[in-house]
Amino acid sequence: MSALTVGLGAIATVAIALQAPWVAILLARLWAGLKRPQPLQPQPSCLANLGTVTIVVPTLNEAQRLQPCLEGLMRQGYEVREILIVDSHSRDGTADMVRAAQQRDPRLRLEFDPPLPKGWVGRPWALHTGFCRAHPQSQWILGIDADTQPQPGLVASLLHTAAADGLDVVSLSPQFILKSAGEWWLQPALLITLIYRFGAARVVESQPERILANGQCLLIRRSLLEQLQGYSAARSSFCDDVTLVRTAAARGARVGFRDGSRLLKVRMYEGMAETWREWGRSLDLKDATPVAQVWGDVYFLWAVQGLPLPLFLLTLAGLTAAPPLLPLQLAMLLNGGLLLIRMAMMVAIAPVYDWHHRQGSAFFWLSPFADFLAVWRISLSSGQRPKQWRGRQYSAV
């Protein structure tokens, strides 16, 4: 038996030993997806919810993408008492855009947040400012990001879901708008890192340390926010949405994360490079997660997403150049199975993309070839704390 054969057999044996336990965890998480709640549907306005919601939109130099968000919010029903645009003193005409929109909808109100206090990140500070200035009769606070495109019936659907499932917090995943081949190739691989780590959403999330939330659309009961002293629990977090929601869940709040692809669209980043830089550095969720869990998730992602394609190709090449050793055969079957799961996941997540923007969309089906890079990006981010975010510079906070 040649040295090459012995070496390949050893690699295959180690791969099986390191991957197999994590494959079982992955299968358990994905299996639970068969019972996940169905995507939320738009709902008509309900008179009982008249004026119960204050919407808060934090902005900083958002003039290039705020208009679709404003248009969508102005189409919401009479559940919305007010729409507070909390601007961090933008210099690109954001405030003028809001003032123009105010002429069409009196619910819009432009606010400016005070200077950023030490120890706070800009986004939670703006949301906290909006919470503090919300009308006292609003029962719910809905945080919405400026890059979203709310669809009609969004707010009514959120309130309907909260009432039906007895939730204190409702967060939505959006439908993504991608416009280049690079985005279509990389972004789905990054999204899969979230699905693999957190699995499918349950009716009520029961494990605070594994809860996922999306601050692009986060409805929270006002009384709960008062108990939490607003957004102060997430003041220094670059994943403030997850930090806030996990804190709330740990105190007994009922949290739900739903598929909102029929209610909310989002154009997050412009191009592959910005997607890699901006989204990639927050997906590790380290500000809301114990260190051991962060690095355990990194190990898990390498085992079930980052390495299956290279290991499958390596074992396949080994079987053509060496005797059919059992470890090589088992490793090829294991990683081949993981690749089949990954391909099935592409079909499963296809509805969360807006296919009307088809330029480069064929690269979506090649996204498994970006898995190694996606996991590498999470690994890099897990050991680094951002120093710049949305145009602001941060020291240690």
Nearest CA to 394 out of 201, 278, 236 is that of 236
Q: For Cα atoms 80, 60, 108, give the angle at the middle one, nearest 5 degrees.
A: 25
> 0.85 exceeded by the pTM?
yes
pLDDT of amino acid 391:
64
- Span between the terminal Cα atoms of the chain, in Å: 58
Bridge partner residues of 2 (DSSP):
none
- Can you list the alpha helix ranges (DSSP code H) found in the chain? 3-31, 66-74, 94-102, 122-133, 154-165, 181-198, 222-227, 240-250, 271-274, 291-301, 308-321, 326-349, 371-382
The owner of tokens 């030490």 is: 118
The owner of tokens 């248009």 is: 71
pLDDT of amino acid 318:
82
Q: What is the dihedral of CA 392, 66, 57, 250, to 10 degrees?
A: -80
Domains and CATH numbers, the chain: 3-34+291-385 (no CATH), 47-174+214-287 (3.90.550.10)
Mean pLDDT, 10 residues at a time, the chain of 397 residues:
71 89 93 87 95 97 95 97 96 94 96 94 96 97 97 98 97 96 97 93 83 95 97 94 95 95 95 92 89 95 97 87 80 95 96 91 97 96 76 62
